[in-house]
Amino acid sequence: MKITDIRLGMLRVPLKTAFKTALRTVNSTEDVVIIVETDSGNTGYGAAPATAVITGDIHGSIIEAIRTVIKPRLLGQDIADLNHIIRLIQGSIMKNYSAKAAVEMAVYDLFAQLYKAPLYKILGGGVPKITTDLTISVDYIDKMVADSLSAIDRGFETLKVKVGKDIGVDIERVKAIYAAVEGKALIRLDANQGWTAKEAVYALHKLEDAGVRLELVEQPVKAYDLEGLKYITERVHTPVMADESSFGPREVIELIKMRAADIINIKLMKTGGIANAIKIADICSFYDMQCMIGCMLEGSISVAAAVHVAVAKSDVITKIDLDGPSLCAFDPVTSSVSFNDADITIADAPGLGITAIEGLEMLA
């Protein structure tokens, strides 16, 4: 099974409601879709969103990195030589993690098809069912409370609440949501780098003293502020999770050495794909540190790949934040991964099991 061509397309899906964080507001998912074709007739799929404020990647950079740099290196390569292909992808260009991730997942899709097994079985097996949280966008307090109760009605038992806009209002937002959902759902906070270290400690102490019990707080400070992250971790009871501070294995090792975080958030768009995600999970497992697997605002192709990783590494990936497809108005992709609000399941089909993509606009 040798690679004969790599084609690109765009897939746009409207959201049910606007996605708002401390960094941005978005109304739809817009993914670059990668189609890797082979001489055996098998096709592998991958995808990547533009997340300029986090990864630095935009649609144009993803497309050009794949088209002009990664694709020429992969044509003619044998899918059976997986590790060699991964080295070619990762060594082809600096950074450009989303482009690398999209191509990598398509290659892994084909590798699993080669052995006629679902990807998660190739990665180590597991129970093909997980449960995700749902993101509650930052908004007026009443709207956030209403959105939280609506999520519970849909069957979600964990909510990831976006904060980081205004420290005083953030505290009131969380208190109001907690009062409305206590005993019905767990709350995770995500400040998206919106606080300073001292603000984070102040806010979390205020919430803890008010009896608010949070499952975790995610990336309260700027990505580069590892000392700030450590400052918070040492001073609050709430577990602190590193997201934008932890892209690849090297950053994770540094965070562990510094004891700067309690949990690591793995995202394929940060790691550059599945291979480094697995390395991070293995590193964290060795140090008895839990991981979450998350996603950017992206559709079901790339999230499906993350689902397979989550199932295969469920011993260390104990928290799931793969709600991208649940935020979309509909899912145009037919695959072996079924997104049913909080419940995500994998059927027994080779690779990612993608058989159709409606509305895909192929790029010239």
Binding region for Mg(2+):
190, 218, 243
- Which are the catalytic amino acids? 162, 267
The sheet with strand 25-38 has its strands ordered as 43-49, 25-38, 3-20, 361-362
Pairwise CA distance, residues 295 & 36, whole Å: 22
Pairwise CA distance, residues 109 & 354, whole Å: 9
Pairwise CA distance, residues 268 & 274, whole Å: 6
Pairwise CA distance, residues 358 & 13, whole Å: 10
Binding region for substrate:
24, 135, 160, 295, 297, 321, 323
